[in-house]
Amino acid sequence: MKTLRNAFAVLFLAWLTLATAFAARHEEKVVYHMNDSSIAMGALNNIRNHLNASPNAKIVVVAHGAGVDFLLDGAKDKNGNPYDAVVQELVNRNVQFRVCNNTLQTRKIDKSRVIPEATIVPSGVAEIARLQSQEGYVYLKP
């Protein structure tokens, strides 16, 4: 009986180790590509719904071109609703926001206008490619 319990304990530990390794390799990581701020509120709602369904998902939003506008200080949607409150809510749920420096330079937008919740990266498209190829993120385009 003792041998059977020992065997069960060994099998259980082996299963637990494999399950932990499997979960680590299959972590849900998603990059949302934003290049149009006119759909930003809908995209932010999609991200909220995504997290409601998968609370442990790692989500990064990368914005470039016209997609950076919703991450600028004082930005509001077409109904006058500010984006910063929704962005802050998502940051509190561990969503990361990244803004393309190339866009800022091309459009002559001062970096100080980017809200503090967002990080500036050298290139938005390069960041998306890096997240996909080097970190295993899945690509979503709302």
Output the pLDDT for position 100. Answer: 98
Q: What are the two backbone dihedrals, phi and then psi, of residue 31, each rounded to the nearest 5 degrees?
A: -110, 125
pLDDT digits over 105-120, tens only?
999 999 999 999 999 9
pLDDT digits over 9-47, tens only?
555 454 445 444 454 457 999 999 999 999 999 999 999
Output the pLDDT for position 2. Answer: 62
Residues in the chain: 142
| Mean pLDDT score of the chain | 89
Is pLDDT of 124 > 80?
yes
Output the pLDDT for position 20. Answer: 47
Q: In whole angstroms, what is the distance from residue 39 CA to residue 60 CA?
A: 17
Q: Which helix (H) or strand (E) holds 30?
A: strand 29-36
* Residue whose pair of structure tokens reads 């503090």 in the numeric block: 116
What is the value of pTM for the model shown? 0.82
Tell me the domains of the chain and their CATH numbers: 27-140 (3.40.1260.10)
Output the pLDDT for position 8. Answer: 55
Neighbours of 72 (CB within 10 A): 19
Q: What mean pLDDT comes out for the span 75-99?
A: 96
Q: Does residue 114 come out as left (phi exceeding 0), alpha (psi in the -120 to 50 range) or beta?
A: beta
Output the pLDDT for position 26. Answer: 73
Residue predicted with more confidence, 4 or 44: 44
Output the pLDDT for position 132. Answer: 98
Output the pLDDT for position 123. Answer: 98
